[in-house]
Structure 1
Amino acid sequence: MRHETIDLIFDAAVEVFAEYGFERAKVDDIAMKAGIAKGTIYYHFKSKEELFVALMNEGLEKMLDHARTEMEQAEPPREQLRRMLAAQVRFLIGHGTFTKLLLTEVWGSKERQQAFRSRIRQYIDLIEQVLRRGTEQGIFHLTHPNETAASIFGAVGVAVLHTIYRCQDQSEQMEAEIPKIIDTLEHLLFNGITA
């Protein structure tokens, strides 16, 4: 029962935080949207900040698991990177409200920054591992794999966020954009922009 209640809280919280932003969101609004008493939220989370951190950590963990699953289905580093990139795009498009929060709200307070750095770092480390393997095998030519991994993570996030805002509330159109985003990012990553 506890997990169902937390899922209700998270579902309501992601909508309220996305609609009002972290600062203006109220626990009362989250409780009302979830159809539970405000005290139930405070039973599970000490504060709005703790709720937000837990919500974002769960989303990032799901995204990381999704990317790992995709990566493990391929062997060569190039294909692993391709699968991770596609998995991140699909996950972020499929969780548009979470994506807006991730890329607009998580950098607010110092506490939030510290809480998310470790999760985002795990994701970037996963990308970096693939880049290093590919470099060792002569597939990639990189001098700064850490910075490249962070750049890939950021490029995917911003490309998806751009699509989410451009296709506002048109989920079919967003779904149709997924192959174009993946193709564009793959081309940029593997071929660059020079002729």
Structure 2
Amino acid sequence: MRHETVDLIFDAAIEVFAESGFDQAKMDDIAKAAGVAKGTIYYHFKSKEELFVGLMNEGVQKLIDRARRNMELHASPTDQLLGLVENQIRFYVQNGKLAKLLLSEAFGTKTRQLQFRIKIGEYLQLIEKVIDEGNRIGEFRVRHVPEAASAIFGAASVVVLQKLYSMDELDPARIERDIPPMIETVRHMVMCGMKDSSWR
């Protein structure tokens, strides 16, 4: 079981990275926000880069775990895919600062790019698995499965990020009201494409 101190460090790092950006963020500030000594952070992470990569992996793993649990609630590929879209949008909304960090800072260094591709690849494999099954039983008609999975991930990501970046300050009540239209829009786009026979 992971030490709870790591959770405190991750929570503090999200706040500091979100406010200052990766380059300007200081380990001293993260330590202060976490209520731990800077040496404690270095005990768990060798560098700021390693801390960020760990934070990024942690965030995407939470998305993956939620997606897997959500998939178990539905029997058909169509319902699973619609559930994945809703889950991703709600996850980003509930973790707005983390979502903005992941998709704005993850492409900084080669290490970050590689780690991000690997971790997001795990999530995309879940989407591909659902599409493959939908193709197999005739619910979907998708020719290019990896590209379709990437498009679904991208659509759900961008619709939330555009909303988050359009606000000067995060307004929880407003963004909560905007969740249903975001989900409905992405679902409609996805399902129209997935069932369009012209994709064959």
Q: What TM-score do you get using the length of structure 2 for normalisation? A: 0.93
The reply to whether residue 189 of structure 1 matches residue 182 of structure 2 is no
> How does 1:163-182 map onto structure 2 within 5 Å?
163-167=163-167, 168-182=169-183
1:2 CA displacement: 6.3
1:188 CA displacement: 0.8
Q: Report sequence identity in percent.
A: 52
**2:132 corresponds to:** 132
The reply to whether residue 44 of structure 1 matches residue 44 of structure 2 is yes
**1:14 corresponds to:** 14
Between the aligned partners of 2:156 and 2:144, the Cα distance in structure 1 is 18
1:58 CA displacement: 0.7
Counterpart amino acid of residue 176 in structure 1: R
Unaligned ranges ≥5, structure 1: none
Aligned length: 193
**1:53 corresponds to:** 53
Q: What TM-score do you get using the length of structure 1 for normalisation? A: 0.95
Between the aligned partners of 1:63 and 1:98, the Cα distance in structure 2 is 11
Q: What CA deviation, in whole Å up to 9, does each residue of 1:109-165 have, x standing for no partner?
A: 001111111110000010001001101111111110100001111111111101112
Between the aligned partners of 2:110 and 2:84, the Cα distance in structure 1 is 29
**2:141 corresponds to:** 141
- For the aligned residues, what is the CA RMSD? 1.5
> How does 1:83-94 map onto structure 2 within 5 Å?
83-94=83-94
Between the aligned partners of 2:45 and 2:78, the Cα distance in structure 1 is 42
Between the aligned partners of 1:61 and 1:2, the Cα distance in structure 2 is 14
Between the aligned partners of 1:102 and 1:140, the Cα distance in structure 2 is 30
**1:26 corresponds to:** 26
Between the aligned partners of 2:117 and 2:89, the Cα distance in structure 1 is 20
SS of the aligned residue for 1:108 comes to: coil
Q: What CA deviation, in whole Å up to 9, does each residue of 1:98-117 have, x standing for no partner?
A: 00001100011001111111
1:191 CA displacement: 2.2
Between the aligned partners of 2:87 and 2:45, the Cα distance in structure 1 is 30
Counterpart amino acid of residue 189 in structure 2: L
Unaligned ranges ≥5, structure 2: none
SS of the aligned residue for 2:165 comes to: helix
SS of the aligned residue for 1:123 comes to: helix
Question: After TM superposition, which residue ranges in structure 1, 4 or more long, deviate above 4 angstroms?
Answer: none
**1:151 corresponds to:** 151
